[in-house]
Amino acid sequence: MSERIKEKISIIKEEYPDASEEKKAIIYFVNSNLRISSRKDLYRQARSQVKTEKRREDRSTTELVRMLTTIQENFSDRGLKEDANKFTKYIKDIEEASIIKKEALMYIDSDLSEIIKREETSEEDRSRTTRKLEELGEDANE
């Protein structure tokens, strides 16, 4: 789509070298739409990357903590209190670091979503998400 618009702009420029006010306005309008569209694509791409990273963090931390917990329990069962305590601390440190990373990703996700909405011309329907959740909630009763 954007390639086609770029092509049209170039045709307008070639066919009508003496810029009229109307032509300038058309080119300005198309150009600014192109800029918004490519900005939105960039924000969406970044948001998708942030969400992927968040999911990766959920999964990898779960797996690591599960593994470390098995080791910690093993030390505990064998009466090796000092080693068990060391691993309890490692688990706490990993969980804390993961929470901080996920919080940062949440702030970025939220900011990018606000920016994307700001770029959109249509008014957002406030109750849209709640309505969809209610529909799913009803299906969950079945």
Partner 1 sequence: MNKKNLIDYVSIPKKEINVDLSQITSIKAFLKDFNFHTSREWYNFTDKDEDIEISVSKTGIVAITLRISPEDTEKAIALLDKISKKICSFISDKDFSVEISILEKRKIDMKQFIGKEIDIKEFRSMNFKVAPEIKMRISSRDEEHIISFRDSKDISRLLNIYSSILKGKELRELTPIEVDVTITKTVF
Secondary structure, 3-state, 60-89: HHHHHHHHHHHHHHHHHHCCCHHHHHHHHH
Is residue 119 within 8 A of residue 39, CB to CB? The reply is yes
Binding residues among 51-70 for partner 1 as defined by CB under 8 A: 51-52, 54-56, 58-59, 62-63, 66
Among 39, 74, 117, 119, binds partner 1 (CB under 8 A): 117
Closest alpha carbon to 39 in 100, 92, 115, 96: 115
Binding residues among 13-42 for partner 1 as defined by CB under 8 A: none
User: Could you give the string, one character per residue 95-114, with x where binding to partner 1 holds by CB under 8 A and - elsewhere?
Assistant: ----xx-xx--xx-xx--xx
Give residue 27's Cα distance to chain centre.
32
CA distance linking residue 72 with residue 29, whole number of Å: 63
Q: How far is the CB of 34 from partner 1 (least distance, A)?
A: 22
Q: How far is the CB of 142 from partner 1 (least distance, A)?
A: 9
Helix (H, G, I), strand (E, B) or coil at 21: helix
Cβ distance to partner 1 smaller for residue 30 or 115: 115
Give residue 86's Cα distance to chain centre.
36
Choose one: 9-17, 18-26, 76-84, 120-128; the region binding partner 1 (CB under 8 A).
120-128
Q: What is the binding site for partner 1 (CB under 8 A)?
A: 51-52, 54-56, 58-59, 62-63, 66, 99-100, 102-103, 106-107, 109-110, 113-114, 117-118, 124, 126-130, 132-137, 139-140
